[in-house]
């Protein structure tokens, strides 16, 4: 029988946090933090939490839950938002993540930090775990700062760099796909990057990876999680619109990026796939799961 762990998901009311909670509650005891609104799932304890950058608040949260595993899933993966809201982005992704790590260490909890493919430069693509991360965007710089702090401080951590995650969020925390579908239903125009390439992956593969990390007590590793297809946001939106039967005439490509060059942030997930011991989903299979 699998060991049941007490898991705290910081940012558990968000799109990713909710999907992780849904999967992990099957075998574990799960608590989720929220700041504003949340959609309650059965069997999960929801805890209001403000002041993520304050050491005392992080410590009292950890003392209350006494988790064996802390998953840091707070913040947003939107690089444009991070450029506009620099202070808020640093507060959550860097200061908050670091304070939470310090608190988690008192409880000797495993610390799982969700990072992203934005830590890379976008120059080459197919980035492996051993490749040097040189971020171009503020979000990537902040995430990398937190990664480096975690690596230097913790003896029981796992950093998971994720490609954009496909899945359905909640009414209060819609995913990127939900927002795109809303534009499709209400026939609102959307302009999307055709220059920035990622390899999106279904959020259920992240949940599976975290289950393996916990079950096998994997420590002090950085893992990459990306899908099999490298695709721009615009091309992906076209596929999603076709999957749901929306009119693609409302979508148009934005030519952004330095000198209009293609930037490829795709992640090489070879190490992670060995750990998962399952066949990765094809992009169309991931899109079919969204229906
Ligand atoms: N979505 C993706 O495709 C993707 C890909 C790679 C990595 N990630 C990482 O996964 C994490 C979650 O992303 P998401 O898409 O789930 O975002 P989301 O839906 O916006 O959820 C963010 C969560 O973080 C909480 N939060 C935000 N700022 C906070 C603060 N200052 N103090 C306490 N809680 C705060 C939110 O609570 P409130 O809404 O109540 O403030 C919410 O629970 C981010 O770190 C992101 O970089 C996501």
Task: Indicate which atom in ligand 1 lies nearest the CA of residue 166.
Answer: 3
Cα 33 to ligand 1 centroid, rounded to whole Å: 11
pLDDT computed for residue 257 by the predictor: 56
Cα 134 to ligand 1 centroid, rounded to whole Å: 23
DSSP assignments along 160-223, one per residue: EEEPPEES---SSS--HHHHHHHHHHTT--EEEESSEEE--EEHHHHHHHHHHHHHTT--SEEE
Which protein residue's CA is at the shortest distance from atom 27 of ligand 1? 75
Average pLDDT of 8-19?
Answer: 98
CA angle (218, 71, 110) in 5-degree steps? 40
Task: Indicate which atom in ligand 1 lies nearest the CA of residue 17.
Answer: 16
pLDDT tens digits, 142-162: 999 999 999 999 999 999 999
**Residue at 192 is within a domain:** no
Name the residue range of residue 37's domain.
6-166+200-228+267-273
Average pLDDT for the chain: 95
Cα 10 to ligand 1 centroid, rounded to whole Å: 9
Average pLDDT of 161-180?
Answer: 98
Structural domain tally of the chain? 1
Q: Is 260 in the pocket of ligand 1 (CB under 6 A)?
A: no
For helices 15-24 and 203-215, the axis angle rounded to 10 degrees is 50
DSSP assigned state of 4: P
CB atoms within 10 A of CB 270: 11
pLDDT tens digits, 48-83: 999 999 999 999 999 999 999 999 999 999 999 999
Pairing of strands 45-48, 69-72: unpaired
pLDDT tens digits, 223-247: 999 999 999 999 999 999 999 999 9
Supply the CATH number for residue 221's domain: 3.40.50.720
HEC secondary structure over 27-39: CCEEEEEECCCCC
pLDDT computed for residue 59 by the predictor: 98
Q: Is the pTM of this model over 0.85?
A: yes
- Residue 255's pLDDT band, with cuts at 50, 70 and 90, is low
Q: Is 52 in the pocket of ligand 1 (CB under 6 A)?
A: yes
CA distances from 190 to 7, 70, 86, 182, 250 (A): 38, 36, 25, 11, 6
pLDDT tens digits, 263-289: 999 999 999 999 888 889 999 999 999
**Residue at 118 is within a domain:** yes
**Residue at 224 is within a domain:** yes
**Residue at 237 is within a domain:** no
Q: Which residues of 214-242 are buried (b: 16+ CB within 10 A; e: fewer)?
A: beeebeeebbbbbbbbbbbbbbbbbebbe
């Amino acid at each position: 029988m699998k060991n049941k762990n007490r898991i705290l998901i910081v940012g558990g009311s968000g799109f990713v946090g909710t999907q992780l909670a849904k999967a992990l509650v099957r075998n574990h005891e799960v608590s989720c933090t929220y700041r504003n609104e949340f959609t309650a799932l059965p069997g999960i304890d929801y805890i209001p939490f403000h002041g993520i950058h304050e050491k005392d608040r992080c410590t009292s949260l950890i003392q209350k839950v006494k988790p064996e595993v802390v998953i840091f899933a707070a913040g947003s993966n939107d690089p444009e938002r991070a450029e506009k809201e620099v202070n808020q982005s640093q507060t959550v992704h860097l200061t908050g993540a670091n304070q939470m790590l310090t608190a988690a260490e008192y409880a000797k909890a495993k610390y799982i930090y969700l990072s992203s493919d934005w830590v890379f430069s976008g120059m080459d693509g197919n980035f492996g775990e051993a490749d040097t991360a040189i971020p171009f965007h503020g979000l990537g710089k902040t995430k990398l700062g937190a990664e480096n702090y975690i690596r230097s401080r913790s003896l029981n951590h796992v950093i998971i760099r994720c490609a954009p995650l496909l899945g359905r969020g909640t009414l209060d925390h819609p995913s990127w796909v939900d927002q795109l579908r809303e534009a499709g239903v209400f026939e609102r125009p959307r302009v999307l990057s055709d220059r920035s390439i990622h390899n999106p992956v279904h959020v259920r593969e992240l949940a599976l990876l975290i289950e393996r990390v916990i079950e096998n007590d994997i420590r002090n590793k950085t893992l990459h999680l990306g899908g099999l297809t490298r695709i721009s946001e615009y091309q992906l939106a076209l596929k999603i619109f076709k999957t749901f039967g929306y009119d693609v005439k409302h979508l148009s490509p934005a030519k952004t990026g330095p000198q209009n060059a293609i930037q490829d942030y795709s992640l090489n997930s070879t190490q992670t796939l060995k750990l998962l011991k399952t066949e990765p989903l094809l992009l169309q299979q991931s899109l079919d799961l969204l229906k």
